[in-house]
Structure 1
Amino acid sequence: MNLQGKRVLITGGSSGIGYAIAEAMLAKGARLVITGRRADVLQQAKEKLRPSGFIEAVAADVGTEEGRKATLAFALEKLGGLDVLINNAGGVRAGRLEDTSEAEIRAMIEVDLVAPIFLTRSALPALRASGDALVVNVTSGIALVAAPFYASYAGVKAGLAKFGESLRREMKGEGVHVLTVYPGATDTPMMNSNRAGPELGFVRESASAVAEAVLDGIQNDAFEVIRGGETRSKMIALNREDPAALDKRFLDLKPALAEAVRHHSAL
């Protein structure tokens, strides 16, 4: 896809990966609407990005029906249609499952899975009318290789990945492509409360590096973008061929990992 002039909606676009994707897309000539829950942070992001091209912002919570309606209505009004929807907004709460509250689990389900499904569903008429449209679902590397203490998060992100795979096949031949992105540990505000480092497998890369890979995937009509390099590729292969070996590796890391991620929360 050539992004010049494309009309793009990015959820969670005020910081982290969403902001980096917005910045990269503006450089390619796209016209953007970004959304987020925090009006002050969103406004700051808009002002920083404005010199790079056309951008508008709407403060809304896509985890709610009202927020999704407001977001899509605003985007269609400001852009005059929609060519690209990037489902990037997300939340995480790590820790042992029995120590994770029902409210925290439901928040992850609503923001990380329900919101992208319903927002995409509502946006499909506009995307189909484009004739050359794209849905990008930002999931997580944990959807491919699930780590302990991320059971709920892994579940919803894997659900989003399979939603995208199914939708890609459903939309085949109808002018709507679907790309699934699997970031690894990324240096974003969402990771601020995670104390796990490279010794535990959390090697962080910049949000701009992820955004660059996403744009490369978009421009080459890729099906997926997987970050983490050769290390992640080997883990994916081992998880498929000898999952018990990976279980053993995680068993050895469990005490240190439990302590490092028990306060990891961004909801």
Structure 2
Amino acid sequence: MKSLKDKTVLITGGASGIGKLMGQLVLQKGAKLIIWDINPHNIEQTMADLSGYGKVAAYQVDVSLPEQIRATAAMVKQQHGIVDVLINNAGIVVGKYFHEHTYQDIGKTMDINADAPMYVTLEFLPGMLAQNSGHICNIASSGGLISNPKMSVYVASKWSVIGWSDSLRIEMQQLKKNVGVTTVMPYYINTGMFDGVRSVIPILKPEKVARKVIRAIEQNRIFLGMPWSIHFVRFSQGIMPVRLFDWFVGGVLGIYKTMEHFKGRKQ
């Protein structure tokens, strides 16, 4: 998708963090923006902040609830027609040892991080297929490649997204459809979601992440890893014995201790 001008872009989790930043960027490129978010205050503020950049519509929706996804998608299609670009960005993290999770913690994390991107895509992909044009961008995580303590369920959800997202890309190729799929795998981003994380590897700046994601969509990139070294994770896992990989990633880079002081976003 070389140009976003006059395209309709829908971003889940679009009223805060990189979702909001990506929204501003697509508006500046001449796109029409549709925001899905669960937080009414953030929606109101984002509408006020972004309406000066172009056409913005917003819907309050809990993407952990399939019926809300279905009903809101029906409204979007009726009021705005086909969505040209879908960015599945909404996500949550619990941040504690697995045995401390409740059924609700597990269910909610998987509902929002793993299932919702598939449900939302299921609603808008048929329109893209009908016009033989579109793009789906799934915001996964480097946690979808590297196991990490106090992130087990989050990691499970993001492994799921990466596997599904790239399978979808190959399906579009097999069907000879002009629908691109980009899978994004960023390290920790400084948006508040991972407050308290301590890392030797620099935590990513949200503005830079947002710019790179939008550029990746325009360039129809298959994978976007941030920092670039993320792309070597699978190679390292393939050539290193597990204990050696654990020593390097956990001991030398300190990845396995990054969540020790996790606080998360204040509600």
| TM-score calculated relative to the size of structure 1 | 0.90
Q: Which residue of 2 aligns with 1:89?
A: 90
4+ long deviations beyond 3 Å: 232-237, 249-258, 263-267
Describe the shift of the 1:255–1:190 C-alpha distance in structure 2 as closer, same or farther (beyond 3 A): closer
Larger displacement relative to structure 2 (251-260 or 82-91): 251-260
Q: Which residue of 2 aligns with 1:78?
A: 79
Q: SS of 1:33's equivalent?
A: strand
Q: Which residue of 2 aligns with 1:240?
A: 238
Q: Which residue of 2 aligns with 1:100?
A: 101
What is the CA deviation profile of residues 93-145 of structure 1, one whole-angstrom value per residue up to 9, with x for unaligned ones?
12211112221111110000111111111222112123210111100011122
Structure 1 unaligned segments of length 5 or more: list them: none
Q: SS of 2:260's equivalent?
A: helix
Q: Which residue of 1 aligns with 2:136?
A: 135
**Is the CA contact 2:192–2:265 (under 8 Å) kept in the aligned structure 1?**
no
Q: Which residue of 2 aligns with 1:25?
A: 26
Find the aligned partners of 1:36 and 1:163 in 2 and give their Cα distance: 23
What is the CA deviation profile of residues 202-250 of structure 1, one whole-angstrom value per residue up to 9, with x for unaligned ones?
x2222111111111211111101111134x3454432332132231245
Find the aligned partners of 2:256 and 2:66 in 1 and give their Cα distance: 40
**Is the CA contact 1:148–1:254 (under 8 Å) kept in the aligned structure 2?**
no
Structure 2 unaligned segments of length 5 or more: list them: none
Q: CA deviation at 1:164?
A: 0.7
State how 1:8-19 maps to structure 2 within 5 Å: 8-19=9-20
Find the aligned partners of 2:66 and 2:235 in 1 and give their Cα distance: 39
Letter in 2 for 1:102: Y
Find the aligned partners of 2:131 and 2:259 in 1 and give their Cα distance: 47
**Is the CA contact 1:32–1:79 (under 8 Å) kept in the aligned structure 2?**
no
Describe the shift of the 1:256–1:4 C-alpha distance in structure 2 as closer, same or farther (beyond 3 A): closer
Find the aligned partners of 2:33 and 2:259 in 1 and give their Cα distance: 39
Q: Which residue of 1 aligns with 2:193?
A: 190
Q: SS of 1:174's equivalent?
A: coil
Find the aligned partners of 2:186 and 2:266 in 1 and give their Cα distance: 16
Letter in 1 for 2:228: G
| TM-score calculated relative to the size of structure 2 | 0.90
Letter in 1 for 2:224: V
Q: Which residue of 1 aligns with 2:215?
A: 216
Is it true that 1:176 corresponds to 2:179 in the alignment? yes
Q: Which residue of 2 aligns with 1:45?
A: 46
Describe the shift of the 1:197–1:31 C-alpha distance in structure 2 as closer, same or farther (beyond 3 A): same
Find the aligned partners of 1:74 and 1:185 in 2 and give their Cα distance: 34
Letter in 2 for 1:125: P
The sequence identity of aligned pairs, in percent, is 27
Aligned residues: 261
**Is the CA contact 2:149–2:256 (under 8 Å) kept in the aligned structure 1?**
no
Find the aligned partners of 2:169 and 2:256 in 1 and give their Cα distance: 40
